[in-house]
Structure 1
Amino acid sequence: MCRYAMYGPYKDIYACFKCRKVFKQTSARELDIIKIQNRHYKCPQCSESMKDMGHDFKAPKQNDLKQWMKVELLYNNGFTYHSCGCGSGYRPAKLSEIEEFIRSMKVFKSEGEILLRNLTLR
């Protein structure tokens, strides 16, 4: 069931890769159109731009450098944790699996094809 569509507004989850922290921000549904177009959140600690990770993102422990590196590599290659609440699809558990995962996913060109691939891998 698509829980994000069925139940109240959920906060958006943003990550700061430099500080290795996550922060929840006001959802796009709660903001008016003008504010949505200019949404840009900075980390309260270091002022670096935070990355929109999606509702399904579960942050690694702050001192787990390998997992944070894995998440950053996924983000930089277009893989986030956005979904309707049904899960964002398969994501590798280990840093060593990232290269093969990204290579196998690059076969798909559009965002829709990547989403379809992620859904069929579950």
Structure 2
Amino acid sequence: MDPTRKPSQLYRSKWACFHCRTAFVRYIRVEQSDQIRCLTCHTKATDMGYLFEPPRRSDYKQWRLMQLLAQHQLRYHRSGMIPKIRYLITENDKASYTEVQRNLMALYDDDQQLKKKEKREH
């Protein structure tokens, strides 16, 4: 769910089901976002953002990476997220699962250090 959206405002987004590896588009209100279920298997779906391009259903590796990104709150809600995910985290979709995990940890470590530095300056 995009945190900048106002309540009761309709928005379009792509949703992913990591259980059956499907994606679909829904127009919903922000307050309904935790109620969206997969159309195929009825498990809870994840809002991946309107710019999300789902991998092929048979591409287990890419779906597993997309699930990892979603668990770290990295979604395709803004156009700036595409290069951040593609180049910094997944290394042009060539990084292995463990390399992506390492890149995510490095990214979060850099964020934590930046926040500490900002606190010290204030």
Indicate yes or no: 2:71 matched with 1:76: yes
> Which structure 2 residue ranges, 5 or more long, are not aligned?
1-9, 116-122
- Normalised TM-score (structure 1): 0.67
Q: In 2, distance between residues paired with 1:100 and 1:27? A: 34
1:13 is matched with: 14
Indicate yes or no: 2:32 matched with 1:38: yes
Q: In 1, distance between residues paired with 2:95 and 2:22? A: 19
Q: Deviations over 1:52-73 (max 9, x none)?
A: 0011111000000000001101
Q: Is the CA contact 1:66–1:95 (under 8 Å) kept in the aligned structure 2?
A: no
Shift of 1:105: 1.4
More strand by share: 2
Structure with greater contact order relative to length (CA < 8 Å, sep ≥ 6): 1
- SS across alignment from 2:23: strand
Q: Is the CA contact 1:43–1:50 (under 8 Å) kept in the aligned structure 2?
A: yes
Shift of 1:95: 4.8
2:107 is matched with: 105
- Normalised TM-score (structure 2): 0.67
- Which amino acid letter does the alignment assign opposite residue 57 of structure 2? Q
> Which structure 1 residue ranges, 5 or more long, are not aligned?
1-8, 29-35, 114-122
Q: Is the CA contact 1:14–1:23 (under 8 Å) kept in the aligned structure 2?
A: yes
The percentage of counterpart residues that share the same residue type is 28
Q: Which has the larger radius of gyration?
A: 2
More helix by share: 2
Deviates more, 1:66-75 or 1:92-101: 92-101
Q: Deviations over 1:18-64 (max 9, x none)?
A: 11010100054xxxxxxx32332101111100000011111000000
Q: In 2, distance between residues paired with 1:11 and 1:44? A: 16
> Across the two proteins, how many residue pairs are aligned to each other?
93
